[in-house]
Structure 1
């Protein structure tokens, strides 16, 4: 019953936004849909599909139909990663005084490796959740008898990062991911507007190597977008094996990048928004495409905005 209530509450709020803004055409109006692109809770499956067809393709099966060459995907997909929570047993071991919540083992967000050990992703991937959106992160009762949720810096260390979680073209089966621990939340929602981005530091994997020793990091591009330029988002939609989508830049402002024909789903949060050269120009944060609403759009935060507050760029 709780899941059904959540579903109708979400749909009702979405419908109210549509009625209030029937012709979404400006950057300011795009903000009416605040849904972050996290996975939907168990039992709920809504999408941020733009148009009548879901154009997402598995990276190793990409056929060139989206406007970028096949070798573009082969060159750039390896730096796209998936963030996944430790299983519930390991969360309990790490945090014995906490209730683990319902996140154990969930494939959570996407991100991009940009040097030998750092991943750029969305800030809300490390926000606390009190159950009101269907997700509950670890919590405990404090000395005052009030619930106290684990802070983002602690939550980050309950996540691992998967490389190469994708479907093998030769076998059709999912590849076994190459997994690295998150050792530190380096930056999180910095700036006066708590910009929706984060940077995590990864440790070595079980073979004692850093990710940058095995996978080529992405290039970051700090520049304004060009309307109608081709953008690509390589992502893990709804926790799936890695997929690609591409489309055109619809609009941008000082903070956000908007794209109306690039499908994303829950779990795509934190994916790099790449230009035609493969450089990351932004971080995907929100699903906003709404059926039958002209020019409604998915969106992300721009690298230009991130660079103004980050100490790493």
Structure 2
């Protein structure tokens, strides 16, 4: 799945990190190469591929100009300050192992030379607001989180140049939920950046309304699965809409730890419909190395994706935004 995979080998930054399973975990101060996704309430898991592997580098993606633009202008990777080498502010590099080294992957696997500095993903949804998973960030580790734009490949061997203008700090967490609330299993966070990201970058539009997505609706994911540069996966579809609770839906997206917090788009008009939070085990052993876990399109447990509407409604109840809430008026005082 693509739940935030946070390495269990290192100190977990506060919340319980759930490896690659259905457990909701919080990010660790330093990430280890052990996949982790948000726990559904506490299991371990890793990444997984359903059917064909649809992950595509941004430079090679040609199916939709809108999705490519979401990757280039609206997607962020969450990293620790220690993962960034800012000695040259006009060309930031990354302190991280390659994917092959970090996860002991076999030479037959894809993206082996990609660096792995990210521990979660997120989406710009307003001038200075990033949507991600609740297990990816909390108030206690806000100051130790960086939001990095432009983390994608421009060719098979080249990365888009990242400068200090593309790196943002966390000012505060304005809305967050992690756990069961009124019978709904929720996992989301909205973080306020230290400065507006626009007009350099562009907020992704939010899916209107609060209705459940119909089963078989096509969905796409953009993020840093296993911590690597952004990949676009447009081959998923909704397997279970959970229309009775509308807290999260289950899809067969090709996502991994590090994809936790990724924006999940419905494929009709590419609005953000959800946040990737949990999923199936990502990697499995094959002799002395590891390979991506392979499932059929209808097999395994699927990937859990929190609906976006609870996060937006929470934010609008405590803050206010013309873009997100349709008003510039301040919210009413709490009762």
TM-score by length of 2: 0.62
Matched with 2:169 is 181
**What is the CA-CA distance between 1:89 and the residue it aligns to?**
11
**Secondary structure at 1:161 match in 2:** strand
Alignment RMSD (CA, Å): 3.2
Is 2:30 the partner of 1:44?
A: no
1:195, 1:263 → 2: CA distance?
21
After superposition, the Cα gap between the structure-2 partners of 1:237 and 1:197, relative to the gap in structure 1 and judged at 3 Å, is: same
Question: 2-side partners of 1:48 and 1:270: how far apart?
Answer: 14
Residue matched to 2:69: 75
Partners of 2:205 and 2:272 within 8 A in 1? yes
CA distance in 1, matches of 2:23, 2:294: 16
Q: Corresponding residue for 1:234?
A: 222
Q: 1:236-251 alignment to 2 at 5 Å?
A: 236-246=224-234, 247-251=236-240
For structure 1, which runs of at least 5 residues remain unmatched after alignment? 4-12, 15-31, 91-104, 127-151, 205-209
Q: Distance in 2 between matches of 1:107 and 1:41?
A: 8
- 3-state DSSP of counterpart to 2:49: coil
Q: Which residue of 1 aligns with 2:57?
A: 58
Residue aligning to 2:146: 160
Q: Which residue of 2 aligns with 1:113?
A: 124
CA displacement at 1:309 relative to structure 2: 3.5
Report Cα offsets for 1:280-311 as digits up to 9, x if no partner: 01111012267558252011110233345442
CA distance in 2, matches of 1:158, 1:231: 31
Gaps of 5+ in 2: 1-7, 10-18, 36-44, 86-115, 282-292, 320-324, 326-335
2:258 matches 1:270: no
Pair 1:226–1:38, CA change in 2 (3 A)? farther
User: Match for residue 22 of structure 2?
Assistant: 33
Counterpart residue number, 2:189: 198
* Per-residue Cα deviation, 1:249-274 (whole angstroms, up to 9, x for no partner): 111122111102x1111110111111
Instruction: Tell me whether 1:304 sits opposite 2:303 in the alignment.
Output: no
Q: Which has the higher helix share?
A: 1
Give the match for residue 215 of structure 1.
Answer: 201
The 2-side partners of 1:38 and 1:278 are apart by 28
